[in-house]
Structure 1
Amino acid sequence: MQKLEPIDASSVNDQIVRWLKEYAQNAGVNGFVVGVSGGIDSAVTSTLCAQTGFKVVCVEMPIHQAASQVSRAQEHIAQLKNRFSNVDEARIDLTPVFETFKQQVPSHADTAKLNLSLANTRARLRMTSLYYLAGIHGLLVAGTGNKVEDFGVGFFTKYGDGGVDLSPIADLMKSDVYALARYLQVPESIQQAQPTDGLFGDDRTDEDQLGASYDELEWAMLQNEAGKVAGDFSGRELVVFKIYQRLNKANQHKMNAIPVCYVNRR
């Protein structure tokens, strides 16, 4: 499958850091708050924000989190604080909040729907926590979604990790994020970890949920943008292209503006 040309990581880094600085200055805020999960996207985003010189609060928000995810998040935050004096941290254990929420809402017989709804609830509790800290400290919530997730397959929670003030890496493919991570010297443990949203409390990866790897989905996104159709492919390429088109179509409600019913007042 065709791959993108590698980015100039140094140039892209400088462009994003400059954009973040200008946005914060124009908005009159003190800096940024970033949810740090132990994954590659949040590690890169928080490192980009740290380079602005503005205050950056890295927030760990475990909800029945796997020990490996917690340790990677803590390793990254410790490294970032050591490198940048403007970086601070906060830890909000949302597990008891999540458990209380589950006790207060009605259950459902359809286990798959229940688990998905609860997974999205985790993301929304985290969004609420980030905006709480943003309000206290005068910060912007920096999103951690990449281009494939945000504009390709819609792999994020509406009003969860999709609820942000600005998106520094949303024009970067996942392979670009990895290239930037190498340039930024993000901990090797994070660079080598399988991508996961960590919302289900088990070891399922993003690829398990999506049915294709990020490299495959990048390829499919490029083919779709080039106007290709399913009939142009066979074998695994056809399978991946269909997965991409199905997810892209199903998740347009996340990518498009909220529909408004405009009325005729006459």
Structure 2
Amino acid sequence: MRPLQSQIIADLHVQPIIDPALEIRRSVDFLKQYLKHNPQYKSYVIAISGGQDSTLAGKLAKIAIDELNEKTDKTNYQLIAVRQPYGIQLDASDALSALDFIQPDQTLTTNIKTATDAMTDALRQGGLIVDDMSRGSIKPKMRMIAQYAVARENQGVVVGTDHAAEAFAGFFTKYGDGGTDINPLWRLNKRQGRQMLQSLSAPTALYEKIPTADLEDDRPQLPDEIALGVTYDHIDDYLEGRPVPVTAAVKIESLYLASAHKRHAPLTLYDTWFYHS
């Protein structure tokens, strides 16, 4: 194992092999305990895109909600799913399929196109260029504004979809999709998430589709693996402690080191992890 590999694995708590049923139970119990110990909250709020990660996190949250309601013999809790297209979503059928699988208690749609375009125009009037990459970082921030508005009005907690195969690279937008309250998938790689969805009898198309953040207007549906510059198979193997090609290992490690700030809270005078002297 490479010197940095064990550190990354330990940092992200990835196991080399999982029991999907056990990890489903661990995540569900984690979600249940959070609401039990924070009685001011009565709902989970999650954005459903139709991809593997939001499908899995949404289903786990729904199981947790149902078990809590069954225990209290009431309907005190609810799962609120939020669809958040930018204009017309090219893979909207996948989002609808995911919702059908998850069966949320309530579904809302907050189309972010008007807000994103307005912010882009305002920034450009202020003298900024706001290129396609910048717009791609504005979109998830607009989505998170809407999710927290929904959560605020429903005594809710925002569920994130971040997992080890993306967290290692900070492959999320800071204060966008990275700005959540609880992350039930943390510790899992992409392969393990698929195993859990298979165990949950999810539609095959939802976990076999090519992962994409779909944030860039100039490159719609850009596959994550192209954006990252490394395949999920190599990422998963690396995180499970297996050997991978040197080029893949170097890429993974460089992404990990460059994105350290995304995996930490804002710095104070008492934080020293970023010093390398």
- TM-score under structure 1 length normalisation: 0.85
C-alpha separation in 2, matches of 1:32 and 1:249 = 32
Deviation at 1:203, TM superposition (A): 2.4
Summarize the alignment of residues 158-237 of structure 1 with structure 2, pairs less than 5 Å apart: 158-201=174-217, 202-223=220-241, 237=245
Equivalent residue for 1:116, pick from 118, 133, 143? 133
> Secondary structure at the residue paired with 2:245?
helix
Letter in 1 for 2:222: R
Cα deviation per residue 1:150-199 (whole Å; 9 max; x = unaligned)?
A: 2x111111101110001100111111100011111222221221001111
Task: Give 1:34's aligned residue.
Answer: 46
Match of 1:127 among 144, 147, 152: 144
Letter in 1 for 2:189: M
Deviation at 1:108, TM superposition (A): 4.8
CA distance in 2, matches of 1:88, 1:185: 22
Distance in 2 between the 1:87 and 1:41 partners?
19
Match of 1:74 in 2: 96
**Cα distance between partner residues in 2 of 1:67 and 1:215:** 26
Three-state SS of the structure 2 residue aligned to 1:51 is: helix
Match of 1:244 in 2: 252
1:131: how far off? 0.4
For 1:140, what is the secondary structure of its paired residue? strand
Q: In the TM superposition, what is the alpha-carbon distance from 1:213 to its structure 2 partner?
A: 1.2
CA distance in 1, matches of 2:18, 2:87: 36
How big is the shift at 1:58?
Answer: 0.7
Tell me how far 1:31 sits from its aligned partner.
2.0
**Contact in 2 for aligned 1:65/1:198 (Cα 8 Å):** no
Map Cα deviations across residues 189-216 of structure 1 (whole Å, 9 max, x no partner).
2122100111113121000100111121
C-alpha separation in 1, matches of 2:33 and 2:43: 11
The yes-or-no answer on 1:261 pairing with 2:277 is no
TM-score of the two chains, using structure 2 as the length reference: 0.81
C-alpha distance 108-238 of structure 1, shift in aligned 2 (>3 A): farther
> What's the offset of the Cα at 1:21?
0.5
Q: What one-letter code is carried by the residue in structure 1 that aligns with 2:62?
A: A
The count of corresponding residues between Structure 1 and Structure 2 is: 242
SS state at 1:67 partner: coil
The percentage of counterpart residues that share the same residue type is 24
